[in-house]
Amino acid sequence: MASPALQHLEGANLSFARIWDANLVEADLSGADLRMADFSRANLSGADLSEANLSDAILWGAGLKGANLQGACLRCAQLHDATLVLTDFRGADLTGCHVWGVSAWNVKLERAKQQNLVITPANEPEITVDNIEVAQFIYLMLNNQKVRGVIDTITSKAVLILGRFTGERKAVLDALREELRKRNYAPILFDFSVPATRDITETISLLARMARFVVADITDAKSIPQELAVIVSDLPSVPVQPLLLEGSAEYSMFEHFKRYPWVLETYTYPSSERLIADLGERVIGPAEKYARSVKA
């Protein structure tokens, strides 16, 4: 708990105050004027800072675990190395905050303004993002060669496989996956047999964005129309190689996707054995050719 002198500060005017290393655990600073106040290394765990004005405040290394900042204004505040665990920023204005080095876990951000968050230290060129929860990931990705290498490896080897997950159709997809593994790809087989929801379609879109190319078996299509609808129009750099079992017909709406150059010519295969035998020439080859053309 904060000392009695610092416990009840609701509505106080502490602008420009220097409150370094202070113990403000569970203190009530709701509605306070804290513009340009210096809270470096202060412990504000569980503190009530709702509706407070923290514009340009310095919160370097401050502990804000469980703090309530609902509706607070933190425009251009300095949050370097702050601990943001279970911190409540709902409805807060975080525009222009400096967030390099923050530790953000389970932060509540509904309705918060998060524009132009600065993720680089003062001695580096300024880079901004619009989400505090992804700030540390973006900085790590930009500045860690190993992370960039992992991402490059994933996107150069991942192949998303789509199709029908029942009976004979699933066996074809499994065989396709095994053959792609043998050829040093990282196949991703996504079972879309569950009811379609926003979360699932978003997952499909995310997986496609990570893929070198997509293989879509449109034989006996059921979920394929929805899967392709969330992939094709938004991802011109990700080629889609359609497959169709000989004797089957394309589903009626597939014609719509043929106008996109990155939806490649459908390969009609007579059997799964022939599909695997022709995989390099008829599936991987065209997809790789298109992928290289857009990344050149």
Model confidence at 252: pLDDT above 80 = yes
Spatial separation of the C-alpha atoms in residues 242 and 258, rounded to whole Å: 10
Clarify whether residues 206 and 97 are in a common domain: no
Whether residue 4 contacts residue 24, with contact meaning beta carbons closer than 8 Å, is answered with no
Give the pLDDT score at 60: 97
Which of the listed residues 143, 162, 191 is the one where a domain comes to its end?
143
Clarify whether residues 170 and 123 are in a common domain: no
Per mean pLDDT, which range of 138-147, 219-228, 229-238, 260-269 is the poorest? 138-147
Residue 289 neighbours by CB under 8 Å, 6+ apart: none
Long-range contacts of 138-142 (CB under 8 A, 24+ apart): 139/100
Label the pairing between strands 158-162 and 128-129.
Answer: unpaired
How many H-runs (helices) and E-runs (strands) does the chain carry?
8, 9
Q: What is the pTM (predicted TM-score) of this model?
A: 0.55
CATH code, domain with 116: 2.160.20.80
Count structural domains, the chain.
2
Give the pLDDT score at 5: 47
Give the pLDDT score at 186: 87
* Selected residue with higher pLDDT from 98 and 167: 98
Residue span of the structural domain in which 271 resides: 151-295
Give the pLDDT score at 146: 65
CATH code, domain with 212: 3.40.50.360
Residue 84: helix, strand or coil by DSSP? Answer: strand
Spatial separation of the C-alpha atoms in residues 95 and 108, rounded to whole Å: 16
Clarify whether residues 82 and 197 are in a common domain: no
**Token pair belonging to 265:** 């010519």
Whether residue 158 contacts residue 138, with contact meaning beta carbons closer than 8 Å, is answered with no
Residue 143 neighbours by CB under 8 Å, 6+ apart: none
Clarify whether residues 134 and 270 are in a common domain: no
- Tell which residue, 133, 99, 91, has the closest CA to residue 119: 99
Clarify whether residues 168 and 86 are in a common domain: no
Clarify whether residues 250 and 225 are in a common domain: yes
Spatial separation of the C-alpha atoms in residues 61 and 82, rounded to whole Å: 4
Clarify whether residues 162 and 284 are in a common domain: yes
Which of the listed residues 143, 176, 193 is the one where a domain comes to its end?
143
Clarify whether residues 5 and 93 are in a common domain: yes
Which of the listed residues 104, 125, 143 is the one where a domain comes to its end?
143
Spatial separation of the C-alpha atoms in residues 11 and 31, rounded to whole Å: 5
pLDDT tens-digit readout, 26-47: 999 999 999 999 999 999 999 9
pLDDT averaged over every residue in the chain: 88
Clarify whether residues 161 and 195 are in a common domain: yes
pLDDT tens-digit readout, 49-86: 999 999 999 999 999 999 999 999 999 999 999 999 99
Residue 70: helix, strand or coil by DSSP? Answer: coil
Model confidence at 145: pLDDT above 90 = no
Q: What residue type is 83 in one-letter code?
A: T
Whether residue 57 contacts residue 36, with contact meaning beta carbons closer than 8 Å, is answered with yes
Neighbours of 66 (CB within 10 A): 16
- Tell which residue, 61, 106, 102, 109, has the closest CA to residue 86: 106
Clarify whether residues 189 and 246 are in a common domain: yes
Percent of the chain with pLDDT over 90: 61
Clarify whether residues 198 and 215 are in a common domain: yes
Clarify whether residues 88 and 23 are in a common domain: yes
